[in-house]
Every structure is written in C-alpha cells, then in structure tokens.
Amino acid sequence: RKEVEQDPGPFNVPEGATVAFNCTYSNSASQSFFWYRQDCRKEPKLLMSVYSSGNEDGRFTAQLNRASQYISLLIRDSKLSDSATYLCVVNEGSYIPTFGRGTSLIVHP
C-alpha cells in the first residue's frame, strides 16, 4: 500500500510565527504533489501544487525533495486565518491521488 505520512500535530503557534510541515511519501515513482487546506467540517481546497524547483505563493512556500521523498510547506507570518488542517497529496501518475491524514495548525493571538 502506498503511504503518505504527515505529523498530525497540532502545531500551535502565535500570530506572526513561521511554521513548517513535512510530508513523506513511499512511492519513488510519484509524479505530482500538492498541498490542500481543509477547514473544520469543510471540503479540502487546493492550496498549491509543489514543483521540483520549489514554488512560492505569498507567505507560502512549497518544496519537493525527490531524493529523500518528502515535500514541505512553509508558512511565514502566520495569521489567525491560517488555522486549518493541511493535507499532503501525492499522485503516482495514474491520476489516483493518495492523501495524507493531515497536519493541524492552530494560530493563536
């Protein structure tokens, strides 16, 4: 069974902090990678795709390390509204995604 592993947290950080999550995957043939955000009892929504060269979107930076088979998400200057669960998603190329169980982030005042 293909595995995508995440630290469930919760990560409890103050506003303005920088926080990073990692996600490891077991299938070296995996081809595409994503971070989704899920608010409590809501549907997951794409936060950002993760590219080999790394990519940034405002306060969010995603990195891929194929050699060590992990992806990371860095959030700078955390806001209260960043509180959510962050899901790591890995596609093997068959368009069947494998979801991690999610990492919970709580940003407090």
Partner 1 sequence: DADVTQTPRNRITKTGKRIMLECSQTKGHDRMYWYRQDPGLGLRLIYYSFDVKDINKGEISDGYSVSRQAQAKFSLSLESAIPNQTALYFCATSDLWGSTDTQYFGPGTRLTVL
Say if residues 71 and 65 touch (Cβ distance below 8 Å).
yes
Q: By C-alpha distance, which of 64, 54, 60, 15 is closest to 37?
A: 60
Q: Within positions 6 to 45, which residues make up the interface with partner 1, using CB under 8 A?
A: 8, 32, 34, 36, 41-45
Give the nearest distance from C-beta 23 to partner 1 in angstroms. 12
Q: By C-alpha distance, which of 18, 7, 1 is closest to 88?
A: 7
Give the nearest distance from C-beta 95 to partner 1 in angstroms. 6
Say if residues 87 and 37 touch (Cβ distance below 8 Å).
yes
If one asks whether residue 58 binds partner 1 (CB under 8 A), the answer comes out as no
Q: Choose which of 23, 35, 102, 105 interacts with partner 1 (CB under 8 A).
A: 102
Residues near partner 1 (CB under 8 A): 8, 32, 34, 36, 41-46, 49, 87, 89, 91, 95-97, 99-102
